Amino acid sequence: MQSFIYRTPTRLYFGKGQLGHLSEELAKYGKKVLLTYGGGSIKKIGLYDRVYELLDGFEIYELPGIQPNPKYDPSVLDGVKICKEKNIDVILAVGGGSVLDCSKAIAGGAKYDGDPWDLITYKAETKAALPIVDIITLAATGSEYDAGGVISRTETNDKTSYSSPYLYPAASFLDPTLTFTVSKKQTAAGCADAMNHIMEQYFCDDSTLLNDGFMEAGLRSLMVNGKKCLENPEDYTARAEMMLTCTYGCNGIYSLGNSESYWPLHGMEHALSAYYDITHGEGLAIITPRWMEYVLSDKTVDRFVKYGVNVFGIDSKLDKFEIAKKAIKETYDFFVSMGIPMTLREVGIDEKRLDEMAHHVAINEGLENAWVPLNEADIKKIFENSL
């Protein structure tokens, strides 16, 4: 078991009706609020108007139009500018993980004198950030309970993970009813994203009985509840359990004391969505079973056996490799059953830029340190197998 230092100070307000606490929570930080959001779905579901009703008496500025795979330019830069010009006290991010990730970069940039890209790329240390409160409308990233985010820079095809202890949201509002209107496509992609967050931590050399059981339960919960959410989008219990399971995804609690795994699937997928702006969860789902097949070996098979037996209930008396292969097929079949396009071609990616992407991953993502080390040739092969 590995040593660690762990702290997640975020306050979770979970359940329908919790938005009633929004103004009391924001008032802790001040009156000047930067409201950040995406393409307008929060207006369609009435949440935008509801936030304004709840924040009567606050001074609200807006940064709309934050895109999926949120962009440094213009979103982060525009947000930082508003914060500095208007002396914003607190950022209220309303939307999915992209809006919140972008808001974290803004929160750091607002308290920094130089180019915020310095912080995102760790050329400068983040020493302060504006407080962030969020209302999450999509169960997926877990950004609402962690200290990081992913920011894309279009001109360089960079998609960079940025984290700092200052970036934990002060409070996250999780109302499962706000996810009732999430499309089947986004529900499935969110489920795949959250499953991947767990798998990235599960497949490692050194885990514990406690963490394994917690993560296996997380995977089962996501699969059972993800299906239920597609069948009946207004199933409160299913939306709620999916939301909470996602929330734990990236803050470390699933794997405290485990050895580092270096998140190979995210490393590879970041290139796919940086170069092609595809839906992150779909990119992950596509490469996951191909990565599994590629890294399955005498050295790794026992971990896949545990995964197969405990997550899918495969008969533990079968041959080890048979269990492992069944588990990989079950993983693939589950994504298919969720309606996820399971080849890169289906999401618009062909062989043209595979070399370039594999090179980008190999030099930027440190996957030579991963659970199963991956070099540029390995990465390219996994991409090819995913076509």
Residues near a copy of itself (CB under 8 A)? 1-18, 21, 176, 208-214, 216-218, 220-221, 224-225, 236-237, 240-241, 244-245, 253, 256-257
**Between 196 and 221, whose beta carbon lies closer to a copy of itself?**
221
> Please, are residues 282 and 189 in contact by the beta-carbon 8 Å criterion?
yes
Cα gap 29→43, rounded to integer Å = 25
Quote the least distance from Cβ 7 to a copy of itself, whole Å.
4
Q: Which of 143, 93, 99, 153 is nearest to 121 (CA)?
A: 153
Quote the least distance from Cβ 307 to a copy of itself, whole Å.
14
Give the pair of three-digit tokens for residue 359.
Answer: 């090179």
Quote the least distance from Cβ 296 to a copy of itself, whole Å.
25
Quote the least distance from Cβ 231 to a copy of itself, whole Å.
16
Q: Are strands 59-63 and 90-95 parallel, antiparallel or unpaired?
A: unpaired
Quote the least distance from Cβ 159 to a copy of itself, whole Å.
29
**Between 237 and 337, whose beta carbon lies closer to a copy of itself?**
237
**Between 244 and 268, whose beta carbon lies closer to a copy of itself?**
244
Q: Which of 55, 57, 69, 106 is nearest to 85 (CA)?
A: 106
**Between 90 and 357, whose beta carbon lies closer to a copy of itself?**
90
Q: How many beta carbons lie within 10 A of that of residue 230, not counting itself?
A: 17
Quote the least distance from Cβ 217 to a copy of itself, whole Å.
2
Coil vs helix vs strand at 217 = helix
**Between 236 and 275, whose beta carbon lies closer to a copy of itself?**
236
Quote the least distance from Cβ 220 to a copy of itself, whole Å.
6
Contacts of 206 (CB under 8 A, 6+ apart): 1, 2, 258, 259
| Burial class for 178, CB neighbours closer than 10 Å (0-12, 13-18, 19+) | buried
| Burial class for 134, CB neighbours closer than 10 Å (0-12, 13-18, 19+) | buried
Quote the least distance from Cβ 301 to a copy of itself, whole Å.
22
Cα gap 3→26, rounded to integer Å = 35
**Between 241 and 365, whose beta carbon lies closer to a copy of itself?**
241
Cα gap 169→21, rounded to integer Å = 15
**Between 251 and 273, whose beta carbon lies closer to a copy of itself?**
251
> Please, are residues 310 and 216 in contact by the beta-carbon 8 Å criterion?
yes
CA neighbours closer than 13 Å in the CB half-sphere of residue 86: 22
**Between 70 and 308, whose beta carbon lies closer to a copy of itself?**
308
